[in-house]
Amino acid sequence: MHPLFAHPFSMKWNVTVLEVAPDGFLSPACQKCQAELDIHQPQADDPNELLGTCSQCGCWHLIQVAPGGTEAWVFNLPGVDFVRETLTQARKEAARKKPGAPKGSTARSPKNRVKLGSEGHSG
Ligand SMILES: [Zn+2]
If one counts every other C-beta atom within 10 angstroms of the C-beta of residue 54, the result is 19
Is there a single domain that holds both residue 28 and residue 51? Answer: yes
Query: Is residue 8 pLDDT above 50, yes or no?
Result: yes
Residue type, 58: G
Q: Supply the range of the domain harboring residue 32.
A: 15-77
Q: Which amino acid is at 53?
A: T
The domain tally of the chain equals 2
In a domain, 96, yes or no: yes
Check whether 45 has a pLDDT greater than 90.
Answer: yes
Q: Judge contact between 1 and 10, C-beta under 8 A.
A: no
Q: How far is the CA of 16 from the centre of ligand 1 (A)?
A: 14
Give yes or no: residues 55 and 37 share one domain.
yes
Distance CA 40, CA 79 (A): 17
Distance 38 CA to ligand 1 centre (A): 10
Residues 73 and 103 in one domain: no
Residue 123 CB contacts under 8 Å (≥ 6 apart), including other chains: none
| Distance between CA atoms of residues 38 and 52, nearest Å | 5
Asked, for residue 3, whether it belongs to a domain, the answer is: no
Q: Both 41 and 67 in a single domain?
A: yes
In a domain? residue 88: yes
| pLDDT tens string 47-58 | 899 999 999 998
Q: Are residues 62 and 48 in the same domain?
A: yes
pLDDT for the residue 104: 52
Mean pLDDT score, 84-107:
73
Query: Looking at the structure, do residues 52 and 90 belong to the same domain, yes or no?
Result: no
Q: Is the domain of 73 the same as that of 33?
A: yes
pLDDT (mean) for 85-114? 69
pLDDT surpasses 60 at 102: no
CA 96 to centroid of ligand 1, rounded, Å:
35
Higher pLDDT, 90 or 117: 90
Residue 122 located in a structural domain:
no
Within this chain, do residues 64 and 85 fall inside the same structural domain, yes or no? no
68 & 95 share domain: no
89 with 71, same domain: the answer is no
Q: How far is the CA of 68 from the centre of ligand 1 (A)?
A: 28
Q: Sign (positive/negative) of CA torsion 105, 111, 115, 116?
A: positive
Residue 51 CA to ligand 1 centre (angstroms): 13
What spacing in Å lies between the alpha carbon of 90 and ligand 1's midpoint? Answer: 26
Closest C-alpha to 30, from 99, 69, 76: 76
Residue 29 Cα to ligand 1 midpoint, Å, equals: 8
Query: Ligand 1 center to residue 55 CA distance, Å?
Result: 7
Query: What's the confidence (pLDDT) of residue 13?
Result: 84
**pLDDT tens string 72-95:** 999 998 766 777 888 888 889 888
Task: Measure 31 CA to ligand 1 centroid, in angstroms.
Answer: 7
Q: How far is CA 55 from CA 32, 42, 108, 114, in A?
A: 12, 17, 33, 35
